[in-house]
């Protein structure tokens, strides 16, 4: 057999206490749901082979490629503010790492592949619904240009998983820059294993942030660059109306990718207080709290790195505080820069951030759809464009008219011509996001009727979020009243 997966494993070379060696548990009757052809090609894999009987056996964990070294990684984490010293991959098994022709290294992991030493009470399995949600939303994020883990494939297992009811089981093949989390550092730090923290930091620098190795103080540089990556990521979430829902430190990737799509959601009408996750009872991870909670998580990372920052505790604490404090300005800068682009402003003027803020306030007060407001603003951006299309999204259209007049006066100060501006805005303001009611409909059809056609269609539409796609215009529509999804569930 030719080597289908030329794995080149580095994490499995780390000391044994970093993971548990464990093989996937075979499943009864695997069947392919979907393979991600463009992603397979990027990884140097043959999508046709992945879809073959042999390929599906690998994607289901029934057959382990010779070059794989299957492991479940160890990590800890703060879950809703409470520290849990041992979490780890309870149902995800890393097959190995692939390096493509461009030299890009990616983890290939099976999520839902069976029990591991970290499973605690869990069954090590995943239900079809959450697997499809992760596939759809993760791929939508990637198409939106937002750093994220990816979905290479989804298979059904032919076995039921018991949640509140019996549900079809499934496995997601997840692709990530790595699966190292803030919680991975916490795992070693909480055991006072400074050597483990140092080895992990060195590994992360070598794998993700090689520039930090050349910095005067590499560990401080590492902390700074992780903080910048997260600030940038959260700014991008905020500006597409994404709510992660479970931003625990074990769900925050050191590589700066969106990871662990559980009860996540995109908002329809703009509402800063939006919370969808059924388990987020107190709104800890509400939309508007995401930047502050990211910073809180990064403070936990900084604590782990203290012994590496300086031998002198108070000097280390001062450095950590400075680094974590910088999150606020990093985030603000990323957010304001991207918000200006969404408004068609290529230059920066005094009053721009107030202009953006006032639009958002008017949207919130008038229940305006987040995605459609910016999209229609883009369409209106060509000279004397159609402002009524934007205004009609507001309960009181005059709330927009007033703001729109200010916006137009501001646009007069821009050097760009109207057509260029319109094109630039259409390229950053998507028409299509994975709206909750659409994701829900895909899951219902798949779970209740084994009908995957809606999945394939939604994935296709969302793979070109900035294109008009007239035949699929309905996917841009907000839910009608009876279609609105008010709560999302982890379903783990």
- Within residues 236-295, the interface with Mg ion by CB under 5 A covers 251, 260
Of 67, 119, 353, 416, the one binding ligand AMP (CB under 6 A) is 119
From CA 302, how far away is CA 119, in angstroms rounded?
28
Active site residue 396: no
CB of 324 to ligand AMP, least distance (A): 23
Q: Which stretches of 239-351 are DSSP H helices?
A: 290-309, 313-342
55 binds, among ligand AMP, Mg ion, none (CB under 5 to 8 A by kind): none
> What tokens were used for 172?
């997601």
90 binds, among ligand AMP, Mg ion, none (CB under 5 to 8 A by kind): ligand AMP
Q: Are 410 and 243 spatial neighbours (Cβ–Cβ below 8 Å)?
A: no
CB of 118 to ligand AMP, least distance (A): 6
492 is a site residue for ligand AMP (CB under 6 A): yes
Catalytic residue from among 107, 224, 232, 250: 250
> What tokens were used for 190?
């909480």
Residues 87-116, mask of contacts with ligand AMP (x by CB under 6 A): xxxxx-------------------------
> What tokens were used for 110?
């099976």
- Which string of DSSP letters, residue by residue, matches 32-67? EEEE-HHHHHHHT--HHHHHSHHHHHHHTTSS--TT
Number of residues that bind ligand AMP (CB under 6 A): 18
- Within residues 216-275, the interface with ligand AMP by CB under 6 A covers 246, 250-251, 260, 262
Question: 251 vs 290, which CB is nearer to Mg ion?
Answer: 251
> What tokens were used for 39?
């992603």
Give buried/exposed letters for 226-237 (b at 16+ CB in 10 A, else e).
Answer: bbbbbbbbbbbb
Stretch that binds ligand AMP, among 119-127, 133-141, 237-245, 449-457 (CB under 6 A): 119-127
87 binds, among Mg ion, ligand AMP, none (CB under 5 to 8 A by kind): ligand AMP
| Torsion sign over Cα 447, 449, 451, 455 | negative
HSE-up (13 A, CA, CB side) for residue 489: 10
15 is a site residue for ligand AMP (CB under 6 A): no
From CA 460, how far away is CA 467, in angstroms rounded?
12
CB of 92 to Mg ion, least distance (A): 8
Exposure of 465 by Cβ count < 10 A (0-12 exposed, 13-18 middle, 19+ buried)? buried
CB of 23 to ligand AMP, least distance (A): 16
Question: 264 vs 431, which CB is nearer to Mg ion?
Answer: 264
CB of 87 to ligand AMP, least distance (A): 3
Tokens 């509400």, located at residue = 286
What residue ranges bind Mg ion (CB under 5 A)?
Answer: 251, 260
Point out the residues that are catalytic: 250
What residue ranges bind ligand AMP (CB under 6 A)?
Answer: 87-91, 118-119, 122-125, 246, 250-251, 260, 262, 490, 492
């Amino acid at each position: 057999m030719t080597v289908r997966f030329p794995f080149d494993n580095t994490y499995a070379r780390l000391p044994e206490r970093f993971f548990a060696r464990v093989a996937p548990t075979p499943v009864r009757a695997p069947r392919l749901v979907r393979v991600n052809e463009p992603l397979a090609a990027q990884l140097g894999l043959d999508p046709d082979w992945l879809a073959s009987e042999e390929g599906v056996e690998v994607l289901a964990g029934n057959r382990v490629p010779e070059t794989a070294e299957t492991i479940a990684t160890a990590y800890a984490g703060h879950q809703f503010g409470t520290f849990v010293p041992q979490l780890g991959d309870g149902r995800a098994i890393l097959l190995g790492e692939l390096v493509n022709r461009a030299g890009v290294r990616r983890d290939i992991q099976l999520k839902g592949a069976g029990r591991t030493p970290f499973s605690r009470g869990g069954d090590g399995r995943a239900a079809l619904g959450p697997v499809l949600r992760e596939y759809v939303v993760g791929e939508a994020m990637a198409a939106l240009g937002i750093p994220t883990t990816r979905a290479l494939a989804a298979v059904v297992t032919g076995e039921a998983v018991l949640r509140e009811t019996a549900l079809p089981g499934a496995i997601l093949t997840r692709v990530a820059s790595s699966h190292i989390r803030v919680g991975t550092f916490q795992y070693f730090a909480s055991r006072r294993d400074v050597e483990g923290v140092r080895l992990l930091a060195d590994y992360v620098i070598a794998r993700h942030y090689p520039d930090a190795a050349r910095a005067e103080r590499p560990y401080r540089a590492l902390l700074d660059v992780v903080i910048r990556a997260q600030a940038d990521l959260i700014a991008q979430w905020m500006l597409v109306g994404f709510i992660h829902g479970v931003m625990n430190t074990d769900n925050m990737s050191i590589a700066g990718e969106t990871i662990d799509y559980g009860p996540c959601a995109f908002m329809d009408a703009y509402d800063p207080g939006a919370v969808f996750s059924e388990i987020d009872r107190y709104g800890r991870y509400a939309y508007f709290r995401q930047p502050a909670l990211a910073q809180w998580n990064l403070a936990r990372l900084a604590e782990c790195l203290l012994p590496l920052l300086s031998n002198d505790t108070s000097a280390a604490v001062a450095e950590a505080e400075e680094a974590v404090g910088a999150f606020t300005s990093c985030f603000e800068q990323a957010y304001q820069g991207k918000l200006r682009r969404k408004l068609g402003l290529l230059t920066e003027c005094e009053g721009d951030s107030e202009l953006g803020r006032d639009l958002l306030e008017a949207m919130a007060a008038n229940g305006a759809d987040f995605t459609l407001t910016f999209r229609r603003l883009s369409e209106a951006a060509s000279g004397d464009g159609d402002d009524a299309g934007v205004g009609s999204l507001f309960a009181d259209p005059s709330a927009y008219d007033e703001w729109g007049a200010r916006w137009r006066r501001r646009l007069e100060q821009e050097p760009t011509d109207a057509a260029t501006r319109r094109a630039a805005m259409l390229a950053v303001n998507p028409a299509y996001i994975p709206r909750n009611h659409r994701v829900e409909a895909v899951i219902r059809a798949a779970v209740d009727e084994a009908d995957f056609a809606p999945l394939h269609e939604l994935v296709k539409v969302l793979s070109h979020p900035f294109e008009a796609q007239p035949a699929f215009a309905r996917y841009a529509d907000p839910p009608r009243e009876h279609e609105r999804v008010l709560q999302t569930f982890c379903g783990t």
